[in-house]
């Protein structure tokens, strides 16, 4: 993807039309700028009522382009669209979608949309009635027919007291969709017709009603796997163990807390899965006793030792049982030393098809947005995955999975 090239930053035009969700485009802009994209913000006149020019200029590091008649000799209404690698409009109001669908060009943003030859992404935001109106639906259909990517609005709280479909998709989701477009993966559907199960996060093993044994897994890599699998057409079940991230759109989320709960959910979901990826950090042990009331310290007494018992090894169990013929099972391994040797031994011990080995330690992998790994295959293969955003690591893992999946049997 071009973002890794130091010579040329991808040129992104962020069009902002006039809706209350315009403030969320600031977060989207920040994500683009921080990951090496050069962004030109083109707000409509109405958008400037919600977020002013100074904010866009400060966040993008360049003037916001607001008027067709500014700097006329530089013909910005033509140049901005021509130079772009991607145009994303967020929020896209019903009015903006209508203008784009009909080729109107009465301001700089709509001019830019007509001159752009690069991919265009619209992130709609409006009231449910406006989204569902036949006029809007026809406009969306004709934009999609012409190759534009119109994201589905999210469901949730709208302006005022209303809730329903029409919320601007989460800025992270818009950003992820845009990155797929820029990396040429938009439209990739090699997991269509597949059911994949991904576990994410870290289990918590309770000691009493307020305390638990846990781990530092954020769930970000597992969520990236779920999001990218859904983008590649898979039906996705995400088993989330104590993750503080919003539910990804289009993914069935099952929340669990303990390793035993995760095991139950994983066995159930695996029964009809083509692929199971165990990205969750599962506690190997749990307290032997659960105290139904909070454990109290006793004056002068030594603390009582905590007795532990083994948890089931879910990955080994799923690898051994293979609920469906041809089912692929993928494990993760976090290692601090002798990474490859430990990984090979673990792959053999667990019996899975692929093992994604991460080197962990100070500041590595846990809670960060980037990752790097080596994927070991039961077939003896060893595939390094370059350091990069967790979504890119996820795509590289799905590439290896897709190459090993046979012809769909259903």
Which residues of this chain interact with ligand CTP, rule CB under 6 A? 259, 278, 280, 282, 284, 311, 313-315, 331-334, 346
Q: Which is nearer to ligand CTP, 159 or 381 (CB)?
A: 381
Q: What angle do CA 69, 24, 37 make, to 5 degrees?
A: 65
Helices of type H across 200-311: 220-231, 259-270
How many Cα neighbours within 13 Å face the side chain of 123?
A: 28
Q: Give the whole-angstrom CA distance, residue 405 versus residue 222.
A: 20
- Give the list of residues 6+ apart from residue 392 with CB closer than 8 angstroms, or none: 1, 183, 386
Q: Give the whole-angstrom CA distance, residue 33 versus residue 343.
A: 36
Neighbours of 112 (CB within 10 A): 27
To the query of whether residue 215 is one of the catalytic residues in this protein, the response is yes
Q: Give the whole-angstrom CA distance, residue 179 versus residue 188.
A: 13
Least separation in angstroms between residue 219's CB and ligand CTP is 12
Q: Which is nearer to ligand CTP, 4 or 336 (CB)?
A: 336
Per DSSP, which regions of 5-139 are E strands? 11-16, 38-43, 86-92, 120-124
Q: Give the whole-angstrom CA distance, residue 123 versus residue 178.
A: 10
Q: Give the whole-angstrom CA distance, residue 115 versus residue 79.
A: 8
Q: Which is nearer to ligand CTP, 55 or 327 (CB)?
A: 327
Q: Which is nearer to ligand CTP, 101 or 198 (CB)?
A: 198
* Phi, psi torsion values for 163, nearest 5 degrees: -130, 155
How many Cα neighbours within 13 Å face the side chain of 374?
A: 15
Q: Which is nearer to ligand CTP, 86 or 355 (CB)?
A: 355
How many Cα neighbours within 13 Å face the side chain of 366?
A: 12
Q: Which is nearer to ligand CTP, 106 or 284 (CB)?
A: 284
> Out of 111, 215, 342, 371, which one is annotated catalytic?
215
Residue 76 vs residues 79, 81, 116, 304: alpha-carbon distances, Å: 5, 8, 12, 73
Least separation in angstroms between residue 314's CB and ligand CTP is 3
Q: Which is nearer to ligand CTP, 85 or 274 (CB)?
A: 274
Q: Give the whole-angstrom CA distance, residue 124 versus residue 151.
A: 7
The answer to whether 190 and 148 have CB atoms below 8 angstroms apart is no
Q: Which is nearer to ligand CTP, 259 or 396 (CB)?
A: 259
The answer to whether 353 and 329 have CB atoms below 8 angstroms apart is yes
CA dihedral 184, 333, 211, 226 (to 10 degrees): 20
Distance of CA 372 to the CA centre of its chain: 17
Q: Which residues are catalytic?
A: 215
């Amino acid at each position: 993807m071009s973002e890794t090239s130091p010579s040329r930053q991808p040129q992104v035009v962020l069009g902002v039309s006039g809706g209350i969700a315009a403030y969320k485009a600031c977060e989207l802009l920040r994500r683009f700028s921080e990951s090496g994209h050069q962004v030109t913000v083109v707000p409509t006149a109405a958008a400037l009522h919600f977020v002013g020019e100074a904010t866009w200029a400060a966040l993008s590091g360049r003037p916001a382009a607001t008027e067709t008649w500014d700097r006329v000799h530089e013909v910005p209404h033509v140049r901005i669209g021509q130079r772009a690698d991607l145009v994303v409009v967020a929020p896209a109001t019903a009015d903006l979608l209508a203008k784009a669908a009909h080729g109107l060009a009465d301001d700089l943003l709509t001019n830019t949309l007509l001159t752009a030859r690069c991919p265009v992404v619209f992130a709609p935001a409006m009231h449910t009635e406006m989204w569902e109106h036949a006029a809007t639906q026809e406009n969306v259909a004709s934009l999609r027919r012409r190759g534009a990517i119109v994201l589905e609005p999210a469901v949730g709280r709208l302006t005022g007291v209303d809730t329903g479909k029409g919320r601007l998709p989460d800025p992270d989701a818009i950003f992820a969709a845009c990155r797929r477009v820029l990396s040429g993966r938009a439209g990739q559907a090699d997991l269509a017709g597949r059911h994949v199960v991904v576990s994410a996060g870290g289990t918590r093993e309770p000691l009493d009603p307020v305390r638990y044994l846990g781990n530092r897994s954020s769930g970000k890599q597992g969520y990236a796997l779920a999001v990218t699998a859904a983008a590649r057409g898979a039906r996705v079940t995400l088993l989330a163990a104590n993750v503080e991230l919003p539910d990804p759109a289009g993914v069935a989320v099952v929340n669990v807390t303990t390793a035993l709960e995760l095991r139950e959910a994983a066995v159930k979901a695996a029964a009809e899965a083509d692929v199971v990826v165990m990205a969750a950090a599962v506690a190997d042990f749990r307290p032997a006793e659960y105290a139904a009331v909070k454990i109290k310290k006793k004056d002068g007494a030594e603390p009582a030792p905590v007795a532990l018992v083994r948890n089931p090894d879910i990955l080994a169990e799923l690898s051994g049982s293979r609920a469906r013929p041809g089912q692929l099972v993928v494990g993760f391994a976090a290692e601090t030393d002798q990474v490859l040797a430990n990984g090979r031994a673990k792959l053999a011990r667990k019996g899975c098809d692929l093992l994604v080995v991460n080197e962990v330690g100070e500041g590595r992998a846990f809670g960060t947005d980037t990752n790097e790994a080596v994927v070991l295959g039961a077939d003896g293969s060893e595939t390094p995955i370059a350091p990069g955003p967790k979504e890119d690591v996820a795509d590289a893992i799905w590439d290896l999975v897709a190459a090993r999946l046979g012809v769909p049997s259903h």
